[in-house]
Amino acid sequence: MKLLPKPRGKVTRKPILGTELEQRNRFHYNETSSERGGGKKLAYNEFSKRLIQENPGIIKAIDFLSNNRSEKRFVDPKGKYEILKVTDLISNENTSNPRRGGLTIDSYFIKLKSGKVEYKFFLKKQNADSVEELILLKSLEKYALKSGFKIIQPHLAFDDYNALNKYILYDFTNKLTVDDAFKLKLLKDDEYMHIRTKLEDFETVLNEKHFVPAWNLKSQNCFVDLSTTPYKLYLFDPKSFIGYNKDTLRLKKLQKKLINKK
């Protein structure tokens, strides 16, 4: 894939790997196209790049599970990572009907070691554009904080329009969604309606005040931390008004905003 042009002029060289926080916040965007209207898009941060470089077989392992419906688990022979297809039992022990996003095809739980640290991730294969989802999340992050929300951090998104493969990698959380917490009667009626109203208000603010083309910020796509007062709320799986061949100028602006993030 061809990288986006580098900025002109003298650029101060920095170490390839900074702190982990710097790695998580430094994103890149690549894109290729084909004569038949297909192509590939890739958005990733330095953190996910480092972990894949340390575990080069992990992409093939995900492809193996995706292409073999009867296989539910893959363990690295060296014991560095483990991948599980998400089922009711491993996605959330407290509910028999977990929410995984309306357009999700398959999803995976990934446990991975880097040095002495163990990380957990949630990987979605979906019909929706994954790169747009990642860009959208990063573009609404600061507005979300002002409105009382955090986001589940995305690290990598890949769209292959020829092979119809679309993946996005998130941090993993074992928290309940707002809908599931309500079904289990862990949220009262007024608490549930308050959160839903808060989500609707935030969506309106994004679209009308900040011109961020977000929708689907619903209670089924919002995790709640019931151990905190007031409850902390975490967003994932939003959608964008932007289509693959629509409003490309606006998408490019969001891409530029993302990759220029320090």
Read off the pLDDT of residues 39-72 as tens digits, 9 standing for 90 and up: 888 999 999 999 999 998 898 898 888 888 888 8
Residue position matching structure tokens 């790997």:
17
Answer whether residue 7 is part of any domain. Answer: no
pLDDT for 94 equals 42
Mean pLDDT value across residues 225-234: 95
pLDDT band for position 139 (cuts 50, 70, 90): confident
- Per-residue pLDDT, 135: 87
Q: How high is the pLDDT of residue 16?
A: 54
Please, are residues 28 and 149 in contact by the beta-carbon 8 Å criterion? no
- Is residue 12, in this structure, part of any structural domain at all? no
**pLDDT > 80? residue 124:** yes
Distance in angstroms (rounded) separating the CA atoms of residues 235 and 140: 10
Specify burial of residue 135 (Cβ count, 10 A radius: 0-12, 13-18, 19+).
buried
The whole-number pLDDT of residue 29 equals: 86
Confidence check: pLDDT of 229 > 50: yes
In a domain, 117, yes or no: yes
Going by pLDDT thresholds of 50, 70 and 90, the confidence category of residue 252 is low
Rounded average pLDDT over 13-37: 75
Instruction: Tell me if 79 is assigned to some domain.
Output: yes
Cα gap 152→223, rounded to integer Å: 9
Instruction: Select the highest-mean-pLDDT range: 86-100, 138-152, 232-246.
Output: 138-152
DSSP state of 12: -
Number of folded domains in the chain?
A: 1
Q: Angle at the Cα of 176 (from 107 to 183), degrees rounded to 5?
A: 110
Question: Is 11 inside any structural domain?
Answer: no
Which pLDDT score, from 0 to 100, does residue 262 have? 42
The answer to whether residue 10 is domain-embedded is no
Specify the higher pLDDT residue, 176 or 254. Answer: 176
Show the domain range for 229. 20-259
pLDDT band at 253 (very low <50, low <70, confident <90, very high): low
Query: Is there a domain that residue 165 lies in?
Result: yes
Q: What are phi and psi of 4, to 5 degrees?
A: -65, 155
Mean residue pLDDT of the chain comes to 81
- Strand 165-171 versus strand 39-45 pairing type: unpaired
Q: Is the dihedral of CA 228, 231, 236, 237 positive or negative?
A: positive
Residue 242 predicted with pLDDT over 70? no
Distance CA 13, CA 81 (A): 33
Q: How high is the pLDDT of residue 47?
A: 94
Decide if 125 is inside a domain.
yes
41 vs 234: which has the higher pLDDT? 234
Cα–Cα dist 163/179, whole Å:
33
Q: Is residue 136 pLDDT above 90, yes or no?
A: no
The pLDDT assigned to 36 comes to 63
